Amino acid sequence: MTNEDLLIYFDEQLFLPDLLAKTKDDLFEEIVDQFVKVKYLKSREIVLEMLRQREKLGSTGVGKNVAIPHGRTTSASDIMIAFAKSKNGIEYDAIDGKPVNLIFMIIAPPQDENNMYLPLLGKMVEVLNKSKNRNKLMQAETFDEFMEILSKG
């Protein structure tokens, strides 16, 4: 998967550069509410439950101030990624114990065409492993700037 391939999974309506949430659970609710608002998800509660269960398995706070909450849900129609940023950072129980500033929430339906969910998760991990990408994403204020960073990442 190339960086260009990645771009089709983002939507300006799922770009949240200034999260209000102060806790992990509030963060999930704020992002999922946006998914529901733009009609990518049918049921808020089912998806929140899925995300909370995923955290029971192990934290999706992957370290270096990044979290990638993710999961498949029957309540989703398409595979989509929301990007959110918290300027102050949110306690997330991340693997390195650091608060999280950059959040990529990946939601996929049970059967996504071409089975892109796992390659997409892998690609996001690869992009976010680079410190220059993380630094630039922290500065991104607009969707266009964000997409530009990802396309070059």
- 68 lines the binding site for another protein (CB under 8 A): yes
CA distance 16 to 139: 13
- 77 lines the binding site for another protein (CB under 8 A): yes
When computed from its CA atoms, the radius of gyration of the chain, rounded to whole angstroms, is 14
| Residue 11 and residue 80 in contact, taking contact as beta carbons nearer than 8 Å | yes
- 57 lines the binding site for another protein (CB under 8 A): yes
CA distance 131 to 149: 12
- 50 lines the binding site for another protein (CB under 8 A): yes
Closest CA to 44 of 33, 59, 57, 31: 33
CA distance 11 to 15: 7
Q: Whole-number minimum distance, CB 41 to another protein, in Å?
A: 9
- 54 lines the binding site for another protein (CB under 8 A): yes
> Which residue has 């990529």 as its token pair?
104
For residue 21, give the H/E element and its range.
none
84-143 binders of another protein (CB under 8 A) = 95, 109-111, 118, 121-122, 125
Q: Of the ranges 1-9, 17-25, 27-35, 56-64, which one interacts with another protein (CB under 8 A)?
A: 56-64
For residue 105, give the H/E element and its range.
strand 100-108
**Tokens, residue 152:** 């070059």
Report the residue number, 7 or 48, with the smaller CB distance to another protein.
Answer: 48
Q: Of the ranges 12-20, 64-72, 134-142, 143-151, which one interacts with another protein (CB under 8 A)?
A: 64-72
Q: Whole-number minimum distance, CB 56 to another protein, in Å?
A: 4
Residues that bind another protein (CB under 8 A): 39, 42-43, 45-46, 49-50, 53-54, 56-60, 62, 68, 71-75, 77, 95, 109-111, 118, 121-122, 125
